[in-house]
A and B are shown apart, each in its own frame.
Chain A
Amino acid sequence: MHIRKGYLAALILCVVACPSLAYSWIVQQNNSAQDQNKTKNESHAPSVEPSKETTADLKSASTDEGQLATVNNASIPAYAKVYVAPMLGGFENYVIAGLRNKKVPLTVVVDRTKAEYEISGVSESEKAGWAKMLFIGSENSNEQASIKIADLKTGAVIFGYSVHKTNSARGRQSAGEACAKHIKQIVRD
């Protein structure tokens, strides 16, 4: 208290005696306080450089059946709730069956609001024509499908996979199982 009183008295004397000197002293004090705050903020705030590094880094790897892409090596925790969105021709049912058949440790839900991740995609099936049967002797269909997995909280697409099967032995079932097999690769226990 004594020190504060003395400080105040000195300040008043300075103002009375020399206003310009007092003004410069106050400005100096303020500047030093601002500098201290700046250094504190800089030490707490994240730097700009690392944020550039966290931008999407799409990595693709070719497999025997199709192309696989993961963003920043993303993964899904085991038993996460996944919603499979309706796809053309009911392909979502084949994906769900594939997930079960390939023993992928995910919980599939039919209510999107209860899900953490969403699988969506498209599929196309081409039945064998007479020329294929005549010249190649195959009555198997050609199948292609492409799926992606999005995190419903962040909206980020974390996984993508596309498959093309010429002469698919089990039609859309094969394509659905191929998708499930590759989804399993990004599920971590």
Chain B
Amino acid sequence: MFRPRSLASLLVILAVGAVSMARAEDANSAAASGKVPQGAKIFVAPMADGFDSYLKDAIAAKKVPVQIVDKRDLAEFEITGTSDSQKAGTAKKLIMGNWHSREEASISLSNLKSSEVVWSYSVHKEASAHGKKSTAEACAKHLKDDAIEK
């Protein structure tokens, strides 16, 4: 014999518990994969072989809705990373019949206030049609798709 009042109070307690657990999970997932608001000021740190220049151009070319700033003090977020490029040698051209360069790059986007890395991406192209431009555009495309709030 369940009384309606006790049943109702039990349901309320269960509902409150479920809501609080869901909020905790949301907070955890938000911390793990934070999004960058549109129009955020981003500083692109200098990288090896001038990959930062390619990245800035790619961010503009892919119309990523962020603002690139030249001074780190003015920025809310910072992109750091590394890139490596290897031009096709004679052996690759003759034996493999491939004269495209081998490119790889990896970038991380960090929040300068909290020092947390909010997004990161790495790309590898065994035969890059447009060299560093291709890897930079891949980074910019994924930045737009994954990291920026819509």
A residues adjacent to B (C-beta < 8 A): 78-79, 81, 89-90, 93-94, 96-101, 105-111, 114, 125, 127, 129-130, 133-134, 137, 139-140, 170-174, 176
Chain B residues touching A, range: 35 or more
Q: Which residues on the A side are within 8 Å of B98 (C-beta)?
A: 139
Q: Which residues on the A side are within 8 Å of B1 (C-beta)?
A: none
Complex: A90 Cα to B83 Cα, angstroms: 8
Contact with A along B104-116 (1 / 0, CB 8 A): 1011101000111
Q: Which residues on the B side are within 8 Å of A79 (C-beta)?
A: 28, 31-32
A24 CB to closest chain B CB, in angstroms? 69
Q: Which residues on the B side are within 8 Å of A133 (C-beta)?
A: 91-92, 95-96
Complex: A90 Cα to B81 Cα, angstroms: 7
Q: A93-B108, A173-B104 are in contact. Are A130 and B116 (CB under 8 A)?
A: no
Q: Which residues on the A side are within 8 Å of B95 (C-beta)?
A: 130, 133-134, 137
B residues adjacent to A (C-beta < 8 A): 28, 31-33, 48, 78, 80-84, 86, 89-92, 95-96, 98, 102, 104, 106-108, 110, 114-117, 119-124, 126
Closest to B107 in A: A93
Q: List 27 A-B residue pairs with CB atoms under 8 Å apart, sorted by A's residue number.
A: A78-B28, A79-B31, A90-B48, A93-B107, A93-B108, A93-B120, A94-B122, A96-B117, A100-B121, A101-B122, A105-B28, A106-B32, A107-B117, A110-B115, A114-B115, A129-B91, A139-B92, A139-B98, A171-B84, A171-B124, A172-B84, A172-B104, A172-B122, A173-B106, A173-B124, A176-B106, A176-B122
